[in-house]
Amino acid sequence: MAPVPFDGENNNLIPIAYFSVASISSLSLLAFICSDIWRSSTSLSPLSNTRRHESQRRRQVILFAALAVTSFTLVLYYTVMRYMLSYEFWVNHHGSRQEIPNSLPGRSYVPANLEDIPQLGHWFASQSVPLQFYKLIAEGSRRFWWGQQYFAGLIAWSTFVGIEGHRRQLPTLTKLAFLLVAQFVSLSVAQNLFYITMLLKSIPVTSKDALRTPNQSLYITCALLGFFCVADLPLRHGTELFVGPLFGGLVAIPTILGTLPDILPRRLETSHKNVHLAHRSYATVFTTISVFALATHAWFTGTAILDNTPGLQHHHRSIFSWPLRLHTSQPDPSRLQRAETAVTRVLGALGDHPAVNAIGWDVLLSAVSLGVWCIVRGVDVDGMIECGIWPWHQAGANGPAKDLSLKHVSFDRLAKKEDGDNGQVSPTKKARGRPKRTEDSSSNVTKAASKAAQKVGEAASASTGRRRVGKTDAQAHEEDDAEDEDYVPDRFTAAELANLEHEGEHGETEAEAGALAWGLWTLGGLGVATASALGSEVAIA
Q: Where are the domains of the chain?
A: 15-96+131-322+336-396+504-539
3-class DSSP assignment, residue 98: strand
Query: How many C-beta atoms surround the C-beta of residue 247 within 10 A?
Result: 12
Q: How far apart are CA 316 and CA 311, in angstroms?
A: 14
Largest Cα separation within the chain, whole Å, is 134
Sign of the alpha-carbon torsion through 98, 103, 104, 109: negative
Q: What is the DSSP letter of 140?
A: S
What is the reported pTM? 0.75
For residue 270, what is the enclosing H or E element?
Answer: strand 269-271
- Looking at the DSSP bridge assignments, the partners of residue 19 are none
> How many degrees, rounded to 5, is the angle at CA 62 between CA 61 and CA 65?
85
Q: How far apart are CA 505 and CA 462, in angstroms?
A: 50
Which of 190, 141, 136, 81 lies closest to 356 in space, CA to CA? 136
Which of 150, 183, 193, 181 lies closest to 252 in space, CA to CA? 183
Q: What is the DSSP letter of 504?
A: -
Which of 380, 403, 382, 399 lies closest to 391 in space, CA to CA? 382
Which of 512, 285, 278 lies closest to 382 in space, CA to CA? 512
Per DSSP, the residues of 99-137 read EPTTS-TT-EE--GGGSSS--HHHHHHHHTHHHHHHHHH
Tens-binned pLDDT, residue by residue, of the chain (541 aa)? 344 444 456 788 999 999 999 999 999 999 999 999 998 887 776 555 566 677 888 899 999 999 999 999 999 999 999 999 998 888 887 655 544 444 445 454 445 444 456 788 888 888 888 899 999 999 989 999 999 999 999 999 999 999 999 988 899 999 999 999 999 999 999 999 999 999 998 877 666 577 788 999 999 999 999 999 999 999 999 888 999 999 999 999 999 999 999 898 888 888 888 888 888 889 899 999 999 999 999 999 999 999 988 876 444 444 333 343 444 444 454 778 888 888 899 999 888 899 999 999 999 999 999 999 999 998 989 889 988 887 776 644 334 444 444 444 444 444 444 444 444 444 444 444 445 544 444 455 445 545 555 554 554 454 444 444 444 555 555 555 555 555 555 554 554 444 444 454 444 457 889 999 999 999 999 999 999 999 998 887 6
